[in-house]
Structure formats: structure tokens, C-alpha cells
Structure 1
Amino acid sequence: MIPRTVFNAEHEQFRDTVRKFLENEAAPFHAQWEKDGQVDRALWNKAGEMGFLCPQVPEAYGGLELDFGYNAIIDEEICRLGLSGIGWGLHSDIAVPYIVNYGTEEQKQKYLAKCISGEIVTAIAMTEPGTGSDLQNVRTTAIRDGDHYVLNGSKTFITNGQHADLVIVVAKTNPEEGAGGVSLLLVDASLPGFKKGTNLEKVGMKAQDTSELFFDDVRVPAEDLLGGEGQGFIYLMQELPQERLGVAIGAIANAEAALQWTVDYVRERKAFGRPIASFQNTQFKLAELSSELTALRVFIDRCMELHYEKKLDISTAAKAKLLATDFQCKLLDECVQLHGGYGYMWEYPIARSWADARVQRIYAGTNEIMKLIIGRDLLKD
């Protein structure tokens, strides 16, 4: 193994605390949460008490003001244990940073402390039934009417959709404009006209509450505009590198865990009177997967270092997301094969991870969009 240099001793002490917490408070209950379609809401409050939510938030707003490495450790430990129902990454790495980076002082004082404690669960509503990666053409509208914006439209595939108390909604404040007409609104889930649809039944991530959201003449106070009107698309582009890095971090952590599960399995499982590990095909497959995984781990860690320094550009983040998620799915497919029929049984973590991972190549921008971003960057003048 190549030693990791992206974390220090304090990071690793924090990792131990996170791992023990997840092993005691989440892992024993995750199978039931998969049947329920969502994790226990109390887990969020427990995580808040432990300081696991939004570790980057400044101390002035009740946060710990830590570096992104702490977010990454939480993401890694969740993915290593296959706890795909826990939506802390969406909350801490994606949604809350919009408030930190673009919110008014009043908005920060109103929301951040409750996001840290788990009293508020956040979501971000980008995707619509007819609009996925094409964010500049969303059809949800927020038309100014006096001291309010009147919000109409619908969103789908929204992570934390059932638990969410506060949703950052991507909407057109000027429907005649393209990207320049997009704004972000902080929408309280208790507002009249805001309705949560049913919890969507997915192929994987069965304990993750993923929902449709509906807005019918929802009157959002103008003071809950996040950032400047018409600036939403710019904000989204600025924040997507961290979101995509987070996906890549989780992908590699899950791949490392899956490879270890498979190594353990092939040592014990016998065929034709001897361990599967003794067959050349098994050794070759594992060697190939381990070699590629090592290379990707080094690359993703370097991306994390760049992100610490605020130097991770859009194209490099796209490469990280593309390579990590493509490889994660490849590795899991090979590992399922090495498990044989047991690899297709839901009771085995390899089966659950195989199902959970497929969406990694779709959300946070499809991998085809990642290729477009990379290609355009290569060919720009």
C-alpha cells in the first residue's frame, strides 16, 4: 500500500470516532432502514451532537471550522460500511456550503446552527422530470410578487427529500433568460403549497429517502433568495467541483472495502476442493483491480489536496468523478462475479454495494457530461 498523506493524526483520531459511531448507531439498523425507505431521523440529531454534520461551518455560526478532510473522512467511513441510506454528504458537502458561501448574514444566523445540530436537514432541488443535467433550462419558476417569490413547478430524485426541512430550490426568476434567469431560493418545507411526493422506490440506496417535490403557488419570502437574483447558475457551477469530488471519494472508499470483502471471501470459499483464491484467474482479477485502485486512490487524494488549497478546477473534478465511479462499478461487477451466486444475494454487502453504486455514474452530472466538460476544456482556445 502507498501511504496516504492527505490526512494528519487529528484526522485519523476523528476517523476512529466516526467509525465507532457508525458501527454502533447505524450499521446494526441499516437493514431495517432499507425496508423503511429511510434512516431513523434521530440519527441526524445524534450525528449533530457528535459534531459530524457540517464540520466546515465557521465557528461564528456554531461550527467547528475544520478543513474538508473531515467531510471526506465521514464520507469514506459511510461508504466503507455500505451505509448508503445516510444523506449527510448531501447535507454537509453540497447543500449547506451554498448557505455559507452565498447566504446573507441573517440567513446564516437563522439556519446554520440548526443544520449543524441536525435540527434542520437540507436538500437541494435541481433535477426535474424533464430536466437533468441541463440546469439552465429548468422549468420551475419563481416570479417576484411584492415581498415574495411565487414558486411553481416540480423536482424529482431529490436526496433527503422526505426528511428535508429546508430545500435549496433551483428556479427561473426570469423565464425568458437561459442561465442568466436561474436563481436559488431557500424554501421552508412547511410553507403552504409545498408538497413532498412519495418516497421513490429505487434499484439501490434503498435506505436513502429520495423524493419528488411539488410547488404550487408557494409564496417564498424575498429575503430567502440565496445570493443574487439571476446568479444561481454561476453558483451551481462554482460548487459542483466539491460535489463531484465527494462522489469520487465515496466511490474509491467503497471500492476499497469491496475488494477487501472479496479477498476475504475467496480465501474461505472453496470450489473443486480448494479455495477460490488459489485459482490463477482469481489472482489475476484481484491483481488488476488492486493495481487500478491504487492508482486511483493516489489521484483522488491529490485532488483532495488541491481542494484544500482551493485549486481543484472544474475539469479535474470531472475527471475524478468520471474515473472513480466508472472504476467503482467495474470493480463491484468483478467482485460480484468472484462471489458467484452469493454475490447476487442481498444479505451480502457486495450485492448491496453493486446495486447502490450504479447511480454514481448518473447523479452529480452524468459521466457523459463529465466527458463533455473535459473535452471542451481540452479544446478551448
Structure 2
Amino acid sequence: MNFDLTSEQTMIRQTIREFAREEVAPGAVERDRNQQFPREIFQKLAELGMMGLPFPEEYGGAGADTISFAIVTEELSRACASTGITYSAHISLGGAPINMFGTPEQKEKYLVPICTGESLGAFGLTEPNAGSDAGGTKTAAVLDGDEYVINGNKCFITNASFAKHLALTAVTGEKDGEKEISAIIVPTDAEGFTIIKDYEKMGLHASDTTELVLEDVRVGKENLLGKKGEGFKQFLQTLDGGRIGIGAMAVGIAQAAFDKSLQYVKERRQFGKTLSQFQVTQFKMADMAMKIELARNMVYKAAWLKDQGRPFSKEASMCKLFASEICMEITDQAVQLHGGYGYMREYEVERMMRDAKLLEIGEGTSEVQRMVIAREVGCH
């Protein structure tokens, strides 16, 4: 077993760490407060060649691996979780399904703008009545001649305001009494397609979260992604990759909370000593460091398995579940270690705690991850 990063992965980490420190971190507080999307940051990431990182070079990508994607997501999230989730969704939900299931023509038309950063990647899956139970999908696509006519709505969709097109799931028929779900690529400027952005969120204020409304939206049948009726199977595969991104985000936020706490406990004095000299603090910091290290190893292992072309569903669920739960725990401890200051915005750990919560919900809740893991280990 070799735990060393390759020279390419090391270089990517150095580049993105420096970028995150200089370009992303300075405006994080302000963006959170003003709910301001980090548009310029993504233009700069495109110039760095990061927007198509794990996709083939022939479509404008960088041909890098999943571990590199996890590293970039972690480092961006460490500086600003809103930037991290935007990037993770762009790659794993926006670009990945087109890369995995698209025809060469579809990739040329839809993956290239994602890789160049001209369009942000987004994926239309969740609906008001279909979250964990994706079988509850109500959005329907009916074939009319050579076109699909799509009606329905999606909720909690990341990045859609900045996406020129996105893949979404829709019911395209019935088979043996079961809904047949397919994935279709839809341009966001299509007639009848409306993007609504009026959610008030607990955290991740600088990320773009939208509702999509489709009223008689027409797209050519050549926009079908992969085979008809395989949308359900496709998005399960898409979510497996996305879970690695969420795991990496969790590691980044937890690391940031740890860094802030370490700095604080070394400076803050009580009863004639720094907080770091009290054993209770030392034990807390030791536990935090241990859990971050475990979570990072789990994320990298899931990413490595994916890169080897081996099954990784179980490991993706495990890394997402463990990392998101320790992230919530560590950000909570970070606020506690800061005392009254932790509750104040300027110390940033309260933002990290708010941002962390989504990671236990998005891309399959903690409960769903436990169901997946139980099934994978043969308990069903």
C-alpha cells in the first residue's frame, strides 16, 4: 500500500491550497453575509484548468483522477464551503453523468462548456415529493414526434442559475407497473424553463440553490442521456461519485474548524494558562485530529477505488457518512472551544458549523448511507 500522492496530485494540492488561501478565503465572511455567489473565483479556477479536472483532455478537461478532484474540493471547502460545494456539484453532478453516459456528440456539445467553465454543472434530481425516495419522481417527459415535452419541477438544485444546460430525471413511461425514469439534457434557456432562487438557507449562503419549473419544455429526443429507462441506474452511479465530493468537503470544513481552534486555544488565556495547556483541551484537539485523519483516508480510499475501476459504492457511502458526521461534531466542538466568541460571526467557526449540517443531508442522508452500507455488507 502506498499512501504517497503522485507528483501530479502533490502539484495540484500545492496550487489549489495557495489559490484557496489567496483568492477564496479572504472574501468568505463577506460572501456568506451577503449571499454573494463567487463568480470571479470560478473564472479563475477555469483559467487554472480546474473546471474540467477529472474529464478527458479531448473535451477540454485535464485528464486527472478522482483523488485530485477530492483534494481540490477539500482545499476549496477549507477556505469556503460554499465554493467547495459549487465546485463539487459542478464536477460530480454536472459533468460526470454527461461524461459517463453521453454520446461523443453530447460530450462535444455539453461537456466542453463545463470543462472550460463557460457553464457551471448542475443536475436535476430532487423534487418536492422525491428526495431519498427518487422513485417518487413526478416530472414527466412525453415523446411527441421527435421531441420530448417535459413538465414538472425540481427543488434544491445546486448551480442551476449559472448552468447553460443540465441533465434531469423524468418519467418517460411505465414498465411492469413501475415508473420508467430516464435522464434528459435540457438547456436552461429553453422556452417554459424557469429558475427560481428564493430559498433562505441555514448555511452555504454563497452557493446557488434553486427551484426549477418546467412547463411544456421541448427538447429533441437526441437529448436523451444514455438509454431510455436507465435514468434511475445512472443517477445512483452519479451519486456514488458525488458522495466522494461531499466527503472531501466535510474533511475540508473540519480541517478549517480544527485550524481555527488550534490557533485560538494557543492564544486564549484563562486562569494564568493558555487553553492549550489544559488536558481537557488537549484531549479534544487530539480526538479532532484523529477523526479528520480517518475521514481523509476514507475519502481517498473511495476515490482510489473509483480510479482503479473497482466497485466503490460501499466506500463512497462510508466516507460520506463518517466524514459528514465528524465534520458536524468537530465544528460543534470548535464553537465550544471558542466559548462566547465561537457564537460570533467574526470567528468563522459558527459559519463552518452551519455549513456542515447540509453534508449530513445532501446526496443521500446519513440514514440512506446506512441503508446502502447495510445492503453492501449483506444485511438485507
Q: What TM-score does the superposition give when structure 1 sets the normalisation length? A: 0.93
Over 3 Å counting, the alpha-carbon distance change for 1:171 and 1:243 in structure 2 is: same
Runs of 4 or more consecutive aligned structure 1 residues displaced over 3 Å after TM superposition = 175-180
Task: Give distance in 2, aligned partners of 1:68 and 1:258.
Answer: 25
- Are 1:200 and 2:178 counterparts? no
In the other structure, the counterpart of 1:82 is 80
In the other structure, the counterpart of 1:245 is 244
> Cα distance, 1:4 vs. partner?
8.3
In the other structure, the counterpart of 1:50 is 48
CA contact (8 A) 1:44 1:118 kept: yes
AA at the equivalent of 2:297: V
> Cα distance, 1:75 vs. partner?
0.4
In the other structure, the counterpart of 1:9 is 7
In the other structure, the counterpart of 2:66 is 68
In the other structure, the counterpart of 1:97 is 96
In the other structure, the counterpart of 2:21 is 23
- Are 1:342 and 2:337 counterparts? no
Task: Give distance in 1, aligned partners of 2:370 and 2:285.
Answer: 28
Over 3 Å counting, the alpha-carbon distance change for 1:165 and 1:376 in structure 2 is: same
Over 3 Å counting, the alpha-carbon distance change for 1:359 and 1:4 in structure 2 is: farther
SS in 2 for 1:42: helix
AA at the equivalent of 1:296: A
Over 3 Å counting, the alpha-carbon distance change for 1:219 and 1:6 in structure 2 is: farther
Q: Deviations over 1:340-372 (max 9, x none)?
A: 111111222211110000010000100101111
AA at the equivalent of 1:212: E
CA contact (8 A) 1:37 1:199 kept: no
Report the more deviating stretch, 213-222 or 301-310: 301-310
Q: Deviations over 1:1-41 (max 9, x none)?
A: xx982522221222222223233333333333334424243
Report the more deviating stretch, 287-296 or 313-322: 287-296
CA contact (8 A) 1:85 1:206 kept: no
CA contact (8 A) 1:180 1:231 kept: no
Over 3 Å counting, the alpha-carbon distance change for 1:46 and 1:296 in structure 2 is: closer
Over 3 Å counting, the alpha-carbon distance change for 1:149 and 1:319 in structure 2 is: same
AA at the equivalent of 2:49: G
Question: What 5-or-longer segments of structure 2 have no aligned partner?
Answer: none
Residues 27-46 of structure 1: pairs in structure 2 closer than 5 A: 27-46=25-44
Task: Give distance in 1, aligned partners of 2:303 and 2:312.
Answer: 11
CA contact (8 A) 2:127 2:155 kept: yes
SS in 2 for 1:174: strand
AA at the equivalent of 1:16: Q
AA at the equivalent of 1:285: K
Task: Give distance in 1, aligned partners of 2:29 and 2:2.
Answer: 32
In the other structure, the counterpart of 1:273 is 272
AA at the equivalent of 1:55: L
AA at the equivalent of 2:65: D
Task: Give distance in 2, aligned partners of 1:133 and 1:111.
Answer: 28
Q: Deviations over 1:48-98 (max 9, x none)?
A: 121011212212222221212221121011111134245111111222011
> Cα distance, 1:290 vs. partner?
2.2
In the other structure, the counterpart of 2:325 is 326
Q: Deviations over 1:110-148 (max 9, x none)?
A: 122211111111210111112101112201111111111
> Cα distance, 1:278 vs. partner?
1.9
Over 3 Å counting, the alpha-carbon distance change for 1:203 and 1:111 in structure 2 is: same
Superposed CA RMSD in Å reads 2.0
> Cα distance, 1:180 vs. partner?
5.4
Task: Give distance in 2, aligned partners of 1:37 and 1:247.
Answer: 21
Task: Give distance in 1, aligned partners of 2:311 and 2:253.
Answer: 22
CA contact (8 A) 1:172 1:183 kept: yes
Alignment length (residue pairs)? 379
CA contact (8 A) 2:344 2:350 kept: yes
In the other structure, the counterpart of 1:300 is 299
Task: Give distance in 2, aligned partners of 1:256 and 1:28.
Answer: 17
In the other structure, the counterpart of 1:162 is 161
Q: Deviations over 1:150-195 (max 9, x none)?
A: 1111111111132222121111111577765111111101001000
Over 3 Å counting, the alpha-carbon distance change for 1:375 and 1:140 in structure 2 is: same
Task: Give distance in 1, aligned partners of 2:337 and 2:142.
Answer: 55
Over 3 Å counting, the alpha-carbon distance change for 1:372 and 1:40 in structure 2 is: closer
Task: Give distance in 1, aligned partners of 2:31 and 2:333.
Answer: 27
Question: What 5-or-longer segments of structure 1 have no aligned partner?
Answer: none
Over 3 Å counting, the alpha-carbon distance change for 1:19 and 1:294 in structure 2 is: closer
In the other structure, the counterpart of 2:256 is 257
